[in-house]
Structure 1
Amino acid sequence: MRLRLARTELRSVARNIHDVVVFSRFIAESRPAQQNDPAVLDRALLESYIGWVGRRTVEKKGPHYGQPVSPGSRIRLLSVISTMLETWRRYGWQPVLPPDARIHRDEYPRQRGLKANFIDEYLMEQIESEENLALLDPETRTLVLICRDEGLRIGEALTLKTDCLKKTPSGRWALVHYKNKDKSFRAIPASRVVVDAIRGQHGRVRERFRDGCHWLFPKVSGNPDGKYPMPYGTVDTRFDAWRKRIRLIDSHGDAAIVNWHQFRHTLGTRMANAGVSGRTIREVLGHTSWAMQEHYSRIADDTLRREYEEKYEVRFNLKGEAVKVHRDADLAGVEWLAEKIGRRLHAVAGGWCGRHIARPCPKTAADGCYFCEDFQTDRQFLPIHRDTLARTRELQISATAAERPRAAGINERLATAVEHVIASITDQEHDELFPATGRQRSRPPRDREDI
């Protein structure tokens, strides 16, 4: 176990110790006279242990009590002993083990297909209800938003630092967190909802500890100096109490139980069903294997969309500003992921919507997307924009002739916005064709307060 501590989390080592204790208990039951003799570790004993593990049932009181132990748990019990025997040989420990004292991989039970563990959308509607979220304390609400929108494991969310938000060169926010599984720091795109929630939580931490605490979620009690992060048991108890308070029920009217990790599955499922490529899901969720990525995307269409191959693309937001996504910039991975997620999740008429999948669409039928700060477009949509402009001007003229000032004003405002987008795109095309001319077209100022 000392050797495993060099590259394994402490809680994983603790679980391995429990597995070794289970093996010791088996030896004490099957060969009590030899339980303290290393020579007992022969092939016959190991074969008996494999069968004994296969017959085990869940001993912990709960909904699964008395049921057969899952294949994953049986594999873990066998692999820990197999690793121990191989380590014994590698370091030449005494006494020397019999040559056939091994547990082979083909003797592990067959792993069942991974269970789809996402939260049903019927339940998510209740969980995401603003009325229900308002019943959560601010800390737990922030954790729910982080796990829902960013797909972090609850352990990763609880160990976020107060400086976890970083801004990319293009102005996007990135959430930097420590990934426990491979002991590395990762940066992923952060939604506006999460950014606002984290800022509010940071403010509450500063009110309590000034600058003496670097945890975004410090332990509530017994933590006067802010040295310790909040334990999982605290937030799990809070979340369970909130679930009962809002009376979370499934489509059959029965009380529903959800856990923190299911938010991660739900984000992956939503992305897969929205057509996000497997590669992008892996990057967002931080998976190192395709098997885990398929755990999320197998319930969606398996057809992968076109990969993002360009060095960068030029798009224009509602202010007419060119939006460039550079792969070589700092935090380029965040830029690329945000671009991929936005492009795959929300294809709209005339461009793309960069709004996070978990945020509702605020547009009205009259305005469409031309007044939304998340709307992006490029030159390939020029025919659509020009057609929209022509039809809008016709409606404006008709409304003016019919003395309908409100309708005329709405169409005039929309036409001005479309003209602004067209001008931005055509100016960019001209600059690319004639870079020496430096032509600049005057553009009307646009501000959301003017809309």
Structure 2
Amino acid sequence: MKQQQTQRSYKPLTELEKKLITCHHCGSDSFVKKRKSRGKKRHQIYICKKCGRHFTYNPEKSAKVHIVNPEAEYKKDIWDIRNLGIPNSIGQYCYKLNFVGIEQPWLMTPAKQYIKFILSTLSFSSASEKLLAIKQFSRFLTLSYPEISSDGIDRSVVISFLAHLASSKLSVSTRCARITGLKGFFEMAYQNEWLGVTRYLVRKEDFPKRPKSQPRYIPEHIIDQLIEHLEDLHAPVQRMVLVLLECGMRISELLHLKSDCLLQDKAGDWFLRYYQFKMKKEITVPISREIVRVLQEQIRYINENLDLPFSYVFTANEGGARKEGFKPTAKLMTRNSFVRYLDKLAEQHSICDSSGKPWHFLPHEFRHTVGTRMINNGVPQHIIQKYLGHESPVMTAVYAHIHDQTMKEEVAKFHGKVVNISGQIVEEVIPEAQTEDLQWFKRTVQAQALPNGSCALPIISQGCPHANACLTCTHFRTTLEYLDYHKQELKQTEKIIQKAEANGWQRQVEMNKKVKANLENIIRGLESND
């Protein structure tokens, strides 16, 4: 009986329905019927095969009835890019450009001209970002220069706006985006004579210095706790975590992973193919057989638990992330739902950082974790660039400094401590603030390498005052790396002392006894647990 109802619910659509009905979320005309809505006025509910969302047929929202009429749309204060004939990007759910926040009439027309130009050359997101810059500048003018006209826009007004941005709570990157949008707008307005402004209103020195990008990777002890309690997550969410930990995908790329994502070559090796929304390209990366099994298991899970076609690997829970249990539905999981699952796990098992603060998982941190692990394992940057799908080496270089920090930590673990001839620890922790240039200065100018350690006497000094007597010099430094060397040298020194005493060479006895005492101090200092 249930099977008959299911077949009746998903009966084929007529040609007229196929022409009129489209998903108003993504504009796709690939869908299936599901059920009737409740209430007096019952409407047919459809499920989009592309984005997995539910929708009803509404001529006002349906993408099919959007008549492409750019000239009429440009006259409005809220543009729908679908009416402009601009194709939507994969995974895009926003289509509106709102000019309502621009309060100066003389600013509205140039702003529309500028955004119209941006849409013809760049993406919808770029146009949205630049429109935000113009709207924020308009709000600033309303508060600080309510009576100003286009002829009054000069360098002093721009400087005041820069000060306004600096006093706001915006991040440096957001401030730079606002300044970039305004700079492009003024340049276009000058070139096309949209406004009576002069050139170079916004200059290079107006941009705040961007802090060096730091990868936001997940510490290994957090990863260990996550893996330890992974079985407490629902099986589909477990598989999502495992894929992120190996492949370093963006969360949007994982959520839109297609069921035909797995490829195999003639040698039997497996590859993962997916689309990068940010770079607008499809990439293929090698993956392990463990992840292949994880994805194959998830695909079987989808086929066995869904009664209707679904072209994606991962689905949402029918009751949402807050509902106990997991029943897959033909709908894409949202980023917030995925985060909610992980945060709930962190709260349940008290997963905290090194300071004891509860850990909040961010999906993009998995991508940074993969990049950090690869750079620490010595994978060449150009390989990491290709694997993560970076457009330029600059994007991959963000992970490079982690290698330096990791190397310092590993060296510290290996050396353990640095001692002088008295066995006293003189250097234990390398300051994190030291740059590569400072490290080079320290190695090249301030210290001399020796077969059994190093000399802290600067090279630029007037030479060593000791004659072949580093083991009696206060500038001598050594580490655990040379412990075996020092033990052998101690044995040789004891033999020299025995021979010198037997021959009555008192000077050699006195000199080598000092060396012996210092070697014993060095060995004792390196082997101690203090």
Q: TM-score range by the shorter chain?
A: 0.5 to 0.7
- Structure-2 separation of matches of 1:155 and 1:6: 25
> How far has the Cα of 1:5 moved from its partner?
4.4
Equivalent position to 2:310, from 204, 213, 228: 213
Q: Is the Cα contact below 8 Å between 2:302 and 2:313 reproduced in 1?
A: yes
User: Which residue is equivalent to 1:33?
Assistant: 147
Matched, 1:189 2:277: no
1:259 is aligned to 2:259: no
Q: How does 1:126-205 map to 2 (within 5 A)?
A: 126-129=225-228, 132-205=229-302
Contact persistence 1:215–1:226 (CA under 8 A):
no
Whether contact under 8 Å (2:262, 2:273) holds in the other structure is yes
* Letter in structure 2 aligned against 1:117: R
Residues 341-395 of structure 1, C-alpha deviations (whole Å, 9 max, x = no match): xxxxxxxxxxxxxxxxxxxxxxxxxxxxxxxxxxxxxxxxxxxxxxxxxxxxxxx
Give the aligned residue type for 1:52.
Answer: H
| Structure with greater contact order relative to length (CA < 8 Å, sep ≥ 6) | 1
RMSD: 2.9
Report the residue type matching 2:299 in the other structure. Answer: H
Cα 1:102/1:207, change in 2 over 3 Å = farther
CA distance in 1, matches of 2:189, 2:330: 39
Query: What's 1:105 paired with?
Result: 204
Task: Name the CA shift for 1:180/1:8 in 2 (closer, same or farther; >3 Å).
Answer: farther
Q: Secondary structure at the match of 1:176?
A: strand
* Post-superposition offset of 1:205: 2.3
Structure 1 residue runs of 5 or longer lacking an equivalent are 58-68, 303-451
SS at match of 1:174: strand
| Conserved? CA contact 2:315–2:333, under 8 Å | yes
What does 1:255-334 align with in structure 2 at a 5 Å threshold?
Answer: 255-301=358-404
* Deviation at residue 33 of structure 1 after TM alignment: 2.1
2:161 to 35, 49, 53: 49
Q: Please state whether the residue corresponding to 2:402 is helix, strand or coil.
A: coil
Q: Distance in 2 between matches of 1:222 and 1:10?
A: 33
Q: CA deviation at 1:39?
A: 3.9
Q: Distance in 1 between matches of 2:331 and 2:123?
A: 18
2:270 counterpart letter in structure 1: W
* Structure 2 unpaired stretches of 5+: 1-114, 321-327, 406-530
Superposed CA deviations along residues 314-351 of structure 1, whole A, max 9, x for unmatched, are xxxxxxxxxxxxxxxxxxxxxxxxxxxxxxxxxxxxxx
Q: Which residue of 1 aligns with 2:336?
A: 233
Q: 1:288 Cα shift?
A: 1.7
- Counterpart secondary structure, 1:300: helix
Q: CA deviation at 1:192?
A: 2.3
What is the match of residue 250 of structure 1? 353
SS in 1 for 2:257: coil
Structure 2 counterpart of 1:27, one-letter code: L
Contact conserved, 1:89 with 1:96, CA < 8 A, in 2? yes
1:252 partner amino acid: S
Give yes or no for contact 1:213–1:226 (8 Å, CA) kept in 2: no
- Give the direction of change, closer, same or farther, for the CA distance of 1:220–1:254 in structure 2 (3 Å limit): closer
The residue number in structure 2 matching 1:24 is: 138
**Of 78, 82, 86, which residue of structure 1 is paired with 2:187?**
86
Q: Does the 8 A contact of 2:190 with 2:197 survive in 1?
A: no
Distance 1:202 1:253, change over 3 A: same
Is the counterpart of residue 70 in structure 1 residue 171 in structure 2? yes
- In the superposition, the TM-score normalised over structure 2's length comes to 0.49
The 1-side partners of 2:375 and 2:217 are apart by 12
Going from structure 1 to structure 2, the CA distance change for 1:210 and 1:265 (only over 3 Å counts) comes to: same
- Per the TM alignment, residue 48 of structure 1 is displaced from its structure 2 partner at its CA by 1.3
